[in-house]
Structure 1
């Protein structure tokens, strides 16, 4: 059964969107969600791996018609020719373009992103958009204890299709466990987030449980990369694995891998979303609010004050 488009929990809006805006949103939702999402995602995965410079050039030309794709920061192949769409999706950056916040009391953004919903977790409830709650217990799954993040802080980081798609350690930490959940591939753009209840809990995702270094207080932290339509593959270097639809799930993957602040953890095969959860006492860095643009390495959260 498809989720309701206008659940009763949605609060009344004080600003009435124009008819043109509503029609555009309806069309966007129809074209990116009322389609065979899983089949299209598998097809895109195969297409993105085709090794063909001329097809890649054509694909990039089409891509630029819909996004602000800019490869000037990318570390291009030695011969300057991109050989596949996947190679562009997972591109590295030229060295030195993402300085890492030096303050050890600051957790930096793990990725380039637009900030979505953020704020305090209300008990076990966070919000994907105003009026659209989801449960941490459902997001993490029955095998994982979400207690450390009850009444904590969360930040939603949305990657657009044109952005740099690799993600990094927000602080010195040790990755302890990964749980991979198979699921749907609803679009995660703002239009879908406002319409599909518990979207992040429905989609394919991985729950990365980590612990900050002892010198930072040893606090737990969770990063939850969420897949989307055309985006259902996640590379994790610590496990030397690419998690994708074929894994099923939930799949438990114990891990013990230390990473330094800013060190690359993995990448998406395309744009998507990373949810960040920290315990009570952390505070958001200045300027972190819905709609803000942030780059990997910039301040995201501050550690609790030491007592």
Structure 2
């Protein structure tokens, strides 16, 4: 039965219909409410259904029992489960992810998948911010529904600004990326502007997705979803060490990471590589070419 359901879900037309051609925000709000129900039978049943449909690995989870499906979504890991590469020349992966589109930032253009461009200035909501990364490198990191949902500082850094942009909650899987133009520019997102200790700017753009679609930031406000308060730009001076928890999604989603000229993908990293938080993602070198 599981294989049969898997084949149905793998059908692109059906997958797109089930995850996008529904009232996305309504479905997201309903699932967000339902996932927080702290009733043992509801929690066990909903987690079991989620694990049936998703590749959920709880082996590294700090807890073994969860009060709700939401608690399982946003689980923390046991200490040492995600060791961080200590090389100061390396930018570590901020999250568990599958590597998607990546390459050199050509003017103002990047790609969500091959042949599907979008403008970096639209993603960031700021043309000046986009120009700071012209000629640099972008990497798309997709977190699936079953993955560990926290993201971490890729290096010692200072968070200087967060720009929250409200939006839709399209699914961010490859099927939707092929069909919805400029999808990342349509979804709810947060552009997190950071600076390394040597002055190098980097940007992490956290893009929300269908079902729950909530972005939380540990250095800003962990009690409320970032969307509370509406679109805005927040100036900060939050210093984080490499590997520190930066926040989490309440469902699978995407981080687009931007770096200036002078970085290359770390050895062995390519699409569709599977990475764990803390593993090498980018290293000092010559910027990668478009793929």
Q: Normalising by the residue count of structure 1, what TM-score does the alignment of the two structures yield?
A: 0.87
Match status 1:48 vs 2:35: yes
* 1:12-51 alignment runs, 5 A limit: 24-51=11-38
Match status 1:92 vs 2:76: yes
Segments of structure 2 that go 5 or more residues without pairing to the other structure are 1-6, 287-291
Match status 1:122 vs 2:106: yes
* 1:58-69 alignment runs, 5 A limit: 58-69=45-56
Q: Is the 8 A contact 2:171 2:209 kept in 1?
A: yes
Q: 1:39 to 1:147 in 2, by over 3 A?
A: same
Q: Is the 8 A contact 1:180 1:243 kept in 2?
A: no
| Secondary structure at the counterpart of residue 277 of structure 1 | strand
> RMSD of the alignment, in Å?
1.8
Q: Which one of 235, 247, 251 corresponds to residue 229 of structure 2?
A: 247
| Secondary structure at the counterpart of residue 194 of structure 1 | helix
1:159-195 CA-partner distances (Å, limit 9, x unpaired): 0111000000000000000000000000000100111
Cα distance in 1 for residues equivalent to 2:245 and 2:86: 16
How big is the shift at 1:211?
0.2
- Count residues with an aligned counterpart: 279
Q: Is the 8 A contact 2:265 2:283 kept in 1?
A: yes
Q: Which one of 20, 36, 44 corresponds to residue 57 of structure 1?
A: 44
Instruction: Report which of the two structures shows the higher radius of gyration computed on alpha carbons.
Output: 1
| Secondary structure at the counterpart of residue 145 of structure 1 | helix
How big is the shift at 1:64?
1.6
Cα distance in 1 for residues equivalent to 2:183 and 2:221: 28
Match status 1:111 vs 2:92: no
How big is the shift at 1:303?
2.5
Q: Is the 8 A contact 1:185 1:231 kept in 2?
A: no
| Secondary structure at the counterpart of residue 288 of structure 1 | coil
Cα distance in 1 for residues equivalent to 2:40 and 2:191: 35
How big is the shift at 1:247?
3.5
Paired position in structure 2 for 1:16: none
Cα distance in 1 for residues equivalent to 2:252 and 2:200: 28
How big is the shift at 1:257?
0.4
How big is the shift at 1:147?
1.2
| Secondary structure at the counterpart of residue 65 of structure 1 | helix
Q: Normalising by the residue count of structure 2, what TM-score does the alignment of the two structures yield?
A: 0.92
Match status 1:195 vs 2:179: yes
Match status 1:75 vs 2:58: no
Q: Is the 8 A contact 1:235 1:267 kept in 2?
A: yes
1:228-273 CA-partner distances (Å, limit 9, x unpaired): 1014211111112433444332x11111100000011111111100
Segments of structure 1 that go 5 or more residues without pairing to the other structure are 1-19
Runs of 4+ in structure 1 deviating by more than 4 angstroms, as ranges, are 20-23
Cα distance in 2 for residues equivalent to 1:288 and 1:231: 30
Paired position in structure 1 for 2:246: 265
Q: 1:37 to 1:239 in 2, by over 3 A?
A: same
Paired position in structure 1 for 2:161: 177
Cα distance in 1 for residues equivalent to 2:30 and 2:43: 16
Q: Is the 8 A contact 1:231 1:271 kept in 2?
A: no
